Amino acid sequence: MVTSSAPGKVYLFGEHAVVYGEPAVPCAIEQRASVTAERRPEGLSVHSSDLTLDGFTVEYSGDAAGRPDVDVPDTLLEAAMGYVNEAVEQARDAADAPDAGFEITIESDIPLGAGLGSSAAVAVAAIDAATRELGVELSRGELADRAYRVEHTVQDGQASRADTFCSTMGGAVRVEGEDCRTTDAPDLPFVIGYDGGAGDTGALVASVRELRESYDFAADTVAAIGDIVRSGERALAEADVAEVGRLMDFNHGLLSALGVSSRSLDAMVWAARDAGAMGAKLTGAGGGGCIVALDDTSETATALDYTPGCERSFRAELDTDGVRVESDGAGGST
């Protein structure tokens, strides 16, 4: 039995635009998903808990007949099941063990579908734990690639490498098409606001694609997000946190123009800015979920706690570890 964990992430800049080859800079945060894989004679049994901040438990056999009955949107539930199933398939393929059975247990403090990379963290941790349980240790590069294949399959070919690469490597990363690398970043005072909801990543990505194909100005907006990312990289290199925040504000405005924000996300963004945050924006696909702000005081978190539509606010630290093994077959930490 092996347990691996991987971090969630926030986007400083670049979500949605990264799907079209523009750069993006996500940062791993200390909220994690842990996956325990234990080999069994055959089949797949999955036990999941705490996939939202409120938490729910899922137990299913890994096929359509075992669909769990829980109070979350069907699209999110089906996607969550798909990520686990595909991750197990990747592990079987990597270990050349196509018939290997698994008991999989997932524990996560990353809200499902809220823009903090829950699916990527689960995919990365599941592949790592399952391959190790089968006696195979993947390089981080291969692990990130296989986790990307999971998201690419579940999201009907519309995923980027950003989330899975960030979750695998930890810290701040830069992704532009197939070019993925780690990058330096100063300490950033992240404050997260969560509205208790979730966006449909596939539908939101598809809506941006439709806009981009229908209107030249929408394509220009996507390209402008790429320009913001490049400016943001310079600000990060210079440790100019105030400039990073200003560029985050611009990025949110462009994402709003593409129709992927929401009333609750906008309310949290403006509450953070009014409280003195250096910058604030939605993070992830949008439509609901989380915003990220930069503030080294308590003012933004306090303001978010009193903002209608904000279910919870919390601080988040940059997580430099990436994927890691939490326990080995003997139950000892590594």
Question: Contact at 8 Å (CB) between 113 and 76?
Answer: yes
What lies within 8 Å, CB to CB, of 141 at 6+ separation is none
Return the DSSP state at 62: S
Q: Which amino acid is at 280?
A: A
Order of all β-strands in the sheet with 312-316: 279-282, 290-294, 190-194, 312-316
Amino acid (1-letter code) at residue 230: R
Residue tagged active-site, from 50, 109, 128, 163:
163
Is 118 exposed, middle or buried (CB count within 10 Å of its CB: 0-12, 13-18, 19+)? buried
Please say whether the beta carbons of 114 and 312 come within 8 A: no
In the annotation, is 216 catalytic?
A: no
Query: What does the alpha-carbon distance between residue 279 and residue 283 come to, in Å, rounded to a whole number?
Result: 12
Distance, CA of 202 to CA of 209 (rounded, Å):
11
Tokens of 77: 């539930």
81: phi then psi, degrees, rounded to nearest 5: -65, -40
Residues labelled as active-site residues = 163
